[in-house]
Structure 1
């Protein structure tokens, strides 16, 4: 066989093998191979849309939560054919993601070890066959409103309503003391200022707290704010997380991934339908969690005030704020 014939044979074989591989890939209905965050390119310090095709093939994905071991992802879809918000779970099995399936688990909050999920005023424990039946958390959580977060030492942070507050919600916390959770302790007015206070996220070590709220000095409707714990245990002055995070739309539900790498949040707006009713459309965004450290007061070499060109106008139309999760 001549050198020319050998080269031609190798080329033909390569083309055949490539065609077989392509055909196999095109005909393969199995789930995609596991990659962190579904293979999405990580963001920098500018938030970007998180919209993986495996959970958002038609663009109706809203937001979701990974389990600590990254083996489960609980998420929601809404709008289009989903007239009502619909809840799904997708699981990693043998290094491949299963197809999404509907679930009765709504907006779960995971314990650090992933063996407990908190859902509103209840919790479920992981068993050999799945999740246990729901169990009540206790009396301390009965006035809980929108959102729930728990630190590594088991302290819960959540909005709650008391009769003396005339229906206005406040952020508070409940500590585990002698085996019992205390009644919610209301946080200071530095935290509890504004309307529709909701969706706190407490750092695992309780070094910072994020939440969403409508304030007169905000960028639009609800904005995300942050406060850092001082050395004496008090909380710093709350800081609007700035124009990188907040816009004229509704920003809510901040949460940091279990690996500490990324901050996720929801950004959305109300759409007016032909019949005059309103429909909320929200999407999930993510950004490098370094943005949290950059806002620490000790990291600021100048005033923490937003530069004039980036300051919110302060003029906004009041409307009931929509929040994901409860």
Structure 2
């Protein structure tokens, strides 16, 4: 007997937890994550520790940006079931990294990597890069505004470097000696004032760099200036003390890097760097963010290709270490040129040795941050089918310059400015009472992305207004409005590709308390049955929420049927349904004394003509199948 009783209790518990899980799933699917968590936890208390329940607890917390709790529940799922699917594993790793448990995340990443070879999300992974997952999940379109600068000439202009309100560049616009290769004058260094006024930038008139010690009759180009503005590195043809070209045995003159100091606002004290040589070229200087390392390009022996990028330490006493090749993670058999290091230590350079759009393309790499993954082609519109090079960026402003010989320019090479930003729009609206059309204040409005994750939350003001000032273009969002004593309202919107567009989504929340009743959608029962279905439970949760919000509220429940069937049977059926409804509300933690009565009235209180023997439509009969929740005490 005890065994049979225990088996029966287990069956009942299993049935209860299954129903709670189904109800929790319904709330989860409708973005009701808080309620879903409560119900999944209740199912867990009743013995349902299935992978579905545990990972859904993880998902609900993850989507609600509760990384610590998400990590806990995903971890519990793994402990219980040894293995969870790749999607949940990936979210587990993200949650761990979000709360700073990088070693644990890395351990599980290796597990995922071994099991999911070829998963595109695994590309570019680096355990030292703490924002890898935000980058992997980010899908925002970047808008890039590019402008051919007004001071470009009919000859070559390239190699920008901005410092202290001035833009330095190389140009062959002068009237000096002509270079046989392109029949243009030799390159000199120029400077132009840059005046920034908000989003507007104005450029002065370019002038040759006012330093007789810098520009010669031959080539000068590609500069770098230290953070303190006192030291200038630049590239120059190999010239002797009489400023004549030096040639090697094959009759080739090579490039060298020189250094100058700022003295009394004039560049002077030009010296050649010690790692130059007469038999190979050294040029295109660039400084690390801390100015302790100099990067340059050279075709010296021992490299990987035609030209490679090297680094050399700058010692505290001003001396230099030994040049080191950056290795095969950067250099190829082709040409790597024009390095630049941004404030955040990203290395940018141009190359024709990687897959590209044609000729030189601009690439970026995190190798200086310890990431040995392949360099990334930064793509169009920076890159074209022509030479694109000499990239300079202010990473704080996401603006800068690059050079290109693409068509429709003004000269051989032109300098282009750029500024990049996300394509973003605005989403606003008004939350109103559905019955009165009056604005509702203190409505919680959640913005939910396509994956179901809550990405922002605001509250309506006294006029019922809400606004999300920055949402992404070309995305689908769900907007959910919630307020105590009201049913949630949710709307979907798909944004366009138009930058700075304003979108309007109004919300209409239906009040749950109307006069002396709690009003919810009709509760449906299966034919000839009185057990509470999942869809009915979903509606009854509104009753539970109202009564939790008003802890002294007392109600009574009435249940009614249509006229079909025997009168006495309908009376008993409606009474069973009323009491099933009462029992469900009590099971959700509402004290039984707060429900004064639960009575069925059968077909004794019809709302229309549809009595026995009267032909009516299904809709007319449905009007009579109803439940009332009267408020007796508030």
Bucket of the pairwise TM-score, normalised by the shorter protein: 0.5 to 0.7
Preserved contact between residue 306 and residue 333 of structure 2 (Cα < 8 Å): no
Query: What secondary structure does 1:73 align onto?
Result: strand
Ranges in structure 1 where 5+ consecutive residues have no aligned partner: 1-43, 272-279, 292-326
Distance 1:230 1:257 in 2: 17
Spell out the pairing of 1:40-55 with structure 2 (5 A cutoff). Answer: 45-52=143-150, 55=151
Spell out the pairing of 1:117-266 with structure 2 (5 A cutoff). Answer: 117-120=232-235, 121-139=257-275, 145-151=282-288, 152-165=290-303, 168-177=306-315, 179=317, 180-206=319-345, 208-215=346-353, 217-229=355-367, 233-257=370-394, 260-266=397-403
- If asked which structure has higher relative contact order (CA below 8 Å, sep 6+), I would say 1
Aligned to 1:115: 230
| Structure-1-length-normalised TM-score | 0.59
Distance 1:134 1:65 in 2: 21
Structure 2 residue 412 is the aligned partner of structure 1 residue 281: yes
Relative to structure 1, is the Cα distance of residues 189 and 235 closer, same or farther in structure 2, using a 3 angstrom cutoff?
same
Aligned with residue 158 of structure 2, among 54, 63, 87: 63
Distance 1:141 1:67 in 2: 29
Aligned to 1:28: none
Moved more, 110-119 or 140-149: 140-149
* C-alpha deviation, 1:132, in angstroms: 1.3
Relative to structure 1, is the Cα distance of residues 171 and 79 closer, same or farther in structure 2, using a 3 angstrom cutoff?
same
Q: Which has the higher helix share?
A: 2
* C-alpha deviation, 1:113, in angstroms: 1.6
* C-alpha deviation, 1:285, in angstroms: 1.6
Aligned length: 233
Q: Which has the larger radius of gyration?
A: 2
Aligned alpha-carbon RMSD (Å): 3.8
Q: Which has the higher strand share?
A: 1
* C-alpha deviation, 1:101, in angstroms: 3.1
Distance 2:344 2:320 in 1: 18
* C-alpha deviation, 1:229, in angstroms: 3.8
Aligned to 1:73: 167
Instruction: Provide, for residues 246-294 of structure 1, a one-character-per-residue CA deviation record: whole Å limited to 9, x for no partner.
Output: 11111111112486541311111599xxxxxxxx811112222669xxx
Instruction: Provide, for residues 168-220 of structure 1, a one-character-per-residue CA deviation record: whole Å limited to 9, x for no partner.
Output: 322121123564422111122121124121111122353x1111111352111
Preserved contact between residue 156 and residue 412 of structure 2 (Cα < 8 Å): no
* C-alpha deviation, 1:230, in angstroms: 7.4
Distance 2:354 2:203 in 1: 44
Distance 2:344 2:155 in 1: 34
Moved more, 246-255 or 164-173: 164-173
Distance 1:222 1:255 in 2: 16
Distance 2:353 2:420 in 1: 24
Distance 2:330 2:267 in 1: 35
Aligned with residue 89 of structure 1, among 191, 208, 232: 191
Relative to structure 1, is the Cα distance of residues 184 and 226 closer, same or farther in structure 2, using a 3 angstrom cutoff?
same
